[in-house]
Amino acid sequence: MIKAEFFRSEGAFTGFSVSGHSGYSDIGSDIVCASVSSAVMLTCNAATESFGLPAKVSAEGERVSCKIGRLTEGEKLVGALYEHLKVLEETYPENISVKISEV
């Protein structure tokens, strides 16, 4: 199962961490994994490359984390990823879990 944890402070998203494998299908044909991976990469690249935000992105093993802080553009990017992954969770509840942690 993919586990996505979003961090929020005083109502604003400040980062996220995503890890695991969905188990929906074989590697290379897993649409859930591909959807999550693509969305996470887009969010990280948009934050650092397109918006030039001082985000701290790390990829270790099967975990990708992004700490963006309380920046308006970053909060919106992370919020958009959260909404996307929540839709995937509703469609594939056995393959992805999304939660919010207050920090």
Which domains can be identified in the chain, with CATH numbers? Answer: 2-102 (3.30.70.1490)
pTM summary value: 0.94
Residue 72: CB atoms within 10 Å: 9
pLDDT at site 69? 86
pLDDT at site 88? 98
Arithmetic mean of pLDDT, 25-32: 94
CB 58 within 8 A of CB 68: no
Q: How confident is the model at residue 87 (pLDDT cuts 50, 70, 90)?
A: very high
Q: Is the pLDDT of residue 4 over 90?
A: yes
What letters, b where the CB count within 10 A reaches 16 and e where it falls short, cover 1-39? ebebebbbeeebbbbbbbebebebeeeeebebbebbeeb
Q: How confident is the model at residue 71 (pLDDT cuts 50, 70, 90)?
A: confident
Q: Is the pLDDT of residue 72 over 90?
A: no
- Looking at the DSSP assignment, which residues form a beta bridge with residue 16? 6, 66
